[in-house]
Amino acid sequence: MKYVIDSGPHIKDDDSTALVMNRLLIALIPIILFSIYKNSFLVLVEGKYSIMQALYPIFILLIASSTSILSEKIFVHILNKKYGYKKYKSYFALFPGLFLALIIPINTPLIIVFLGALIASIIGKMLFGGFGYNVFNPALIGALFILTAYGTLIASNGGYLNPVEIDTIATSTPLSNLSALNYVGTYEKVVNAYGSINSFIFGTIPGTLGEVSKILIVLAFVYLVLFKVIKWRIPVTYILTVFIMTFIIGYNNNLGIWYPIFHILSGGLLFGAVFMATDPVTSPVTDSGQIIYGISLGVLTVITRFLTSYPEGVLTSILTMNMLVFLIDRLGVKVKFNIKKIILPLTLMILLSFGLSLYISNTIKDTGKKNDRVQIINKEQSGSKTIYTLTTKGWGLIEAKVELQKGKVTKIEILNSSTETQWSEIEDNDYINTLINKQSDIENVDTISGTTRTSKALKDMIIAVLEDYGD
Amino acid sequence: MLRGIELDGNKDISIKRDILDMSEQINTLYVPLVNHTNLNCKCLVNVGDVVEKNSIIGMREDIELPILSPSDGTIKEIGECLYMNGDLVPCVVIEVNKKSKTKKEIEDITKYTKDEFIRLLKDNAVVGMGGSDFPTYIKYKASNIETLIVNAVECEPYITSDLMLVKLKAKEILDAISATMIINKIKKCFIAVKSNNTIVIDSFNEHLLSYSNIEIKTVKNMYPMGWERHTVSAVLNKKYDRFPSEIGVVVSNVSTMYAIYKALKYNSSISKRLITFTGSNIKKPINVLVKIGTNIKDIIDEVGIKKGRELKFVVGGPMMGEALLSENVIATKNMNCIMVLKDEDDLEVLPCMRCGRCDQICPAKLSPVLIKDNVDNSDNLRILDPKKCMECGLCTYICPSNIDLRSYVKKAKKEVK
């Protein structure tokens, strides 16, 4: 009897990488269907938009996916021609483009979608050596390229809002809105501007094709974890970190539990945490590495959302952490042999996130509640005039009387400015009159460099008076 | 948490039939001159010499462990034979020539001193029969043994030789355990059995009442629960650095305990053992009692092979067993299973997608994927510590991209030596 030999084992688990990727696709299908329902079907039934406008999201999906598939096949074909037959193979070519389509603004011009998918597949994936060898998440590389190179073009094309939303909501995505509100706002302004919290859960808010329906993303998460497709520790620690940090920030600014929930349900966080951060190829393989990775992503996302002008933060956080995966896994290996090795990095991470939360709490307190500096001491009516007596905080305390007539500031009388060091600058610039003249556009009155603090205090005073009068 | 996985046991197929005794039918025995990792022991006989059962025919020189004849007979040839790891090793070929002899029995097998016990184990070449072939007397030399763990876990799928032995010889094994405990002043013995292995549990329970301080400890049905570290951890919830003796524990396989019984009771080495013949292409899956030195080719017709294309002949279990080209492999004390099975269609090997399953499952807490990435970088390998690998094969088993991770880790092991 003749036998074949191999190195064994002689039994094999019947799961395969192809099946894993199929399950990933299955998890995406409801999300894709919902995005077509929301951005195509609902636009179409509105009646007043063209077929082209309604079908636009479908074009994005098709162009991105087919560009990825074709570019990868062609790339592999060229390499094989050059280096010998069948040396290179194309695996799961669909995904970079498909994911790209799900995370870019829905008004991205199709030619830019094509370009993004090409970059995602060729630069993000194939140039690293193809499936399994890429350091960065390919779709995110494509998206980063699109958003940095063509961000303004896309914004002028409508950005993240579908035609119906442009006509009805008129502002921007919830996160841009929050950013414009200086991160602190009432439930009405932050959440109810988009319907209710349910709109966030079910996905009837503006956003990219993939990211809006949180309920479907959560269902996909459960499915993907049960069927062993994704590393559950990453999204769980990621979301939890963002939740705790924004909870602290919200708490310190007297905002309710809705504030951290809003942060979790807004933008690409949930989609990014479940689908992009868990991309197996570009995330850590060790248990503890995945935890450190998730926490780091959370911290970076919060930093980006609050401390930069960029309202989102998921994309850049994941790409940044992609770079550090090999270091994190090195730590993960040491932790496996000696659990104590995780104590120091984990403690540092936790301290860092708490410290940052407190720091952010304070900075947004300063910007968001600027009129804390202004105190109205007295408000009296005299004929058609309303006279405010108030103090505002510059270097010292400035006391002033402000007169309003028919809602307009007519006179500002400084009662005491003796504690101010640079008062002459204010007078030289005739800043008081500038404030009176430009009160209708008060937000855009520049402060005076050289005496920023004092001029800002005066400006805030006028804002406070106008707001108070308005109420 | 012990890492591992519940595998489909497939043990039923080979325990439906009673054992097949082929120990007296074979007339030519090939005794490999090997022990444990020493594959070239010294030959002490010449062609034409007449030997008796238990005569010394070879010697592992570094520790002076004898290799004994499994039968009376005449030396026919000093040659080479195929050992279960796939190597050709020197062997003594014996033409069996059975003399009728009455066995000398010892009434009370507890009446040995510890030194006599160790001498007896060494002279009768008692070795680890679970697969290691490690000389057993060395383990019992430790002076501070408090606990004896008898390993009856048999965690590899398909293999049932230990199960059948316990079914037949539970009383003898318990006698050996009891004597070993008295001689070595061991306070407590646990017999580790998989929780679903009711046959072994029932067989021991039938006799257990008359023994004190021996307890059956059921462990989770998980591969590789029979790995010494896992067994000790599951039974005692204790860890050790290199050897169980550090924490006052000795672990012996249940078939080794039976070999100890033979040594204590008859001052004889074990000359037969049970080997499970199983797998999808064995017509009659069964446990066969064979003489040590039997050529498996002489047995295989008795169990029958379902012909087929691309068959694999595996010595050992499906996880750790070695696929061989030939059936001419020799039964040794540490051989517990022969499998003939269909070769799976060649599975395409995909690039690693870094799902981390090998990292999650590795019982030794290694990261096979990272070891594979760094297989040529000995500096990085030192951190990854591939020497901890005991080659259970779970990383290759679980890999969805069909990467043979175990081979990479084996290579890495050599790299860091």
Q: What is the 3-state secondary structure (H, E, C) of chain B?
A: CCCCECCCCCCHHHHCCCCEECCCCCCEEEEECCECCECCCEECCCCCCEECCCCEEEEECCCCEEEECCCCEEEEEEEEEECCCCCEEEEEEEEECCCCCCCCCCCCCCCCCHHHHHHHHHHCCCECCCCCCCEHHHHHCCCCCCEEEEEECCCCCCCCHHHHHHHHHHHHHHHHHHHHHHHCCCCEEEEEEECCCHHHHHHHHHHHCCCCCEEEEEECCCECCCCHHHHHHHHHCCCCCCCHHHHCEEEEEHHHHHHHHHHHHHCCCCCEEEEEEECCCECCCEEEEEECCCECHHHHHHHCECCCCCEEEEECCCCCCEEECCCCEECCCCCCEEEEEECCCCCCCCCCCCCCHHHHHCCCCCCHHHHHHCCCCHHHHHHHCHHHCCCCCHHHHHCCCCCCHHHHHHHHHHHHC
Mean pLDDT across B193-197: 95
Which residues of chain A make contact with B325, given a CB cutoff of 8 A? 2-3, 5
The DSSP secondary-structure symbol of A445 reads: P
pLDDT band at A169 (very low <50, low <70, confident <90, very high): low
Measured CA to CA in angstroms, residue B285 lies from A70, A411, B11, B264 at distances of 52, 105, 10, 33
Would the CB atoms of B353 and A10 count as touching at under 8 Å? no
Average pLDDT over residues A72-87: 84
Stretch B360-375: mean pLDDT, rounded? Answer: 95
Query: Is pLDDT of A370 > 70?
Result: no
Q: Which residues of chain B are within 8 Å of residue A286 when distances are taken between CB atoms? A: 356, 359, 367
Q: Tell me the whole-structure pTM to 2 decimals.
A: 0.85
- Write down the pLDDT at residue A394: 77
Best CA proximity match to A177, nearest among A261, A187, A167: A187
Minimum mean pLDDT range among A60-74, A241-255, A366-380, B237-251? A366-380
The average pLDDT across A276-305 equals: 96
Best residue of A86, A229, A285, A327 to probe chain B, by most B CBs closer than 10 Å: A285
Q: Across the interface, which of A3, A132, A334 has its CB nearest the CB of B353? A: A132
Report the pLDDT value the prediction gives residue A413, as an integer from 0 to 100. 87
Specify which residues B251 forms β-bridges with: B149
Mean pLDDT of A73-96: 86
Asked whether the beta carbons of residue B353 and residue A1 sit closer than 8 angstroms, the reply is no
This model of the complex carries an ipTM of 0.89
Range scoring the smallest mean pLDDT among A154-168, A418-432, B157-171, B273-287: A418-432
Q: Are B43 and B66 in contact (CB under 8 A)?
A: no
pLDDT value of residue A167: 80
The C-alpha atoms of residue A187 and residue B34 are separated, in whole angstroms, by: 80
Flag if A334 and B305 touch (Cβ within 8 Å). no
Q: How far is A327 from chain B (nearest CA, A)?
A: 12
pLDDT in tens, B120-165: 999 999 999 988 899 999 999 998 899 999 999 999 999 999 999 9
Closest Cα in chain B, distance from residue A18 (Å): 8
What amino acid is encoded at A425 in this protein? E
B384 → chain A, closest CA residue: A333
The lowest-confidence range among A308-322, A446-460, B191-205, B321-335 is A446-460
Give the pairing type, strands B188-194 and B214-219. parallel
What crossing angle do the helices spanning A94-103 and A138-156 adopt, rounded to 10°?
40
| The predicted structure's pLDDT at residue A371 | 58
Interface contact A5-B356, CB threshold 8 A: no
